[in-house]
Amino acid sequence: MSVKAAFARVLKIARSTGLPEITEGISYGTPSLKLRKKFLARIKDDDTLVVMCPLEEKAFLLQADDEVFFETPHYHGYPAILLRLQKAGDAAIAGRIAQAWRMQAPKKLLEQQAG
């Protein structure tokens, strides 16, 4: 799968969540998703998605499913997790994007969504 095809899949999944104000952008030269200019996720390469993730969840995910989730030394201690796109189902990707959205959303937008 190419980077372009990988991002097309991620974008389609992000849109399927129905979460507002997710936009396309560029981060570190690769396609990304943002919420009001705040980073949500980006394509690292043709099989890797970097997605914001609370540190406490990151440790759990790394132990729970190391086939899908992983980290490199660069991301150690940073609230983002790496996800293998070829191993991850659409629901897992949607869930991680939704969690990243909740991490980055302003309080007022969170309240509107909870509505």
Instruction: Delineate the domains of the chain, giving CATH numbers in brackets.
Output: 3-107 (3.90.1150.30)
Confidence of residue 114 (pLDDT cuts 50, 70, 90): confident
What are the pLDDT digits (tens) for 15-72?
999 999 999 999 999 999 999 999 999 999 999 999 999 999 999 999 999 999 999 9
pLDDT score of 20: 95
The answer for 52, left when phi > 0, alpha when psi is -120 to 50, beta otherwise, is: beta
Task: Let me know if 3 is exposed, middle or buried by CB neighbors in 10 A (0-12, 13-18, 19+).
Answer: middle
pLDDT score of 103: 95
Q: Is the pTM of this model over 0.85?
A: yes
pLDDT score of 27: 94
